Amino acid sequence: MKAVIQRVSKASVTIDKNKVADIKNGLLILIGIVDEDTQEDITWLSKKIVNLRIFNDENNVMNTSLLDSNGDAIVVSQFTLQASTKKGNRPSYIKAAKPEVAIPLYENFIFQVEKDLGKKIQTGQFGADMQVELLNDGPVTIIIDSKNKN
C-alpha cells in the first residue's frame, strides 16, 4: 500500500461539480492499493500517518502529528500510485488491485484512520473522476510504502 501524504492548509474533493470533501488544516492522503495488501499494511500505515510529526510546534519546528494537532484528513483512492514506468512512456497499472480487492481495503483503511485519529475523516469516492484541490503547506509531501517498513 502506497500513500502520498501532503500537509495542507486547505483541501477539497469535487465530483460532478459537487464538493464531497473539504478541510482546512490537516492532511490529504492519496492511497494506492495492490492485491498483496493486508490488514497489517492498513494498521501499520494508518498509525504511521496519524503519528507522523510533520506539523509545526510552538517553536515552528516540525514536531507535532496530525493526532496532536487535532487536524483533519481527506483520504482519496488513487490507483495511479501503483504505476510502473519501467518500459516505454505509457504507465502500466497491472500492479493496482482490482475494485473487488481494493474497495474493501480502502474502506478498512478509512475506518482504521478514523479509529487511530479518534474522529471522522472525509473521503473521495472510489473509482470516481475527482478534482482534488489543495494548498500544500510548506510544501510538505511524504511518500510511504507499507512494503518498505523494515
DSSP state of 60: S
C-alpha cell at 2: 502506497
The pLDDT value given to residue 149: 81
**Strand 72-77 to 122-123 pairing:** parallel
CATH for 2-144, among 3.30.70.270, 1.20.120.1200, 3.40.190.10, 3.50.80.10?
Answer: 3.50.80.10
- CA dist., res. 5 & res. 74, Å (int): 10
How many angstroms separate the Cα of 54 from the Cα of each of 18, 29, 111, 117?
30, 13, 22, 15
pLDDT tens for each residue of 67-115:
999 999 999 999 999 999 999 999 999 999 999 999 999 999 999 999 9
Give the pLDDT band of residue 150 (cuts 50, 70, 90).
confident
- CA dist., res. 27 & res. 8, Å (int): 6
Q: Which residues are catalytic?
A: 80
Write down how long the chain is.
150
* All structural domains of the chain with their residue ranges: 2-144
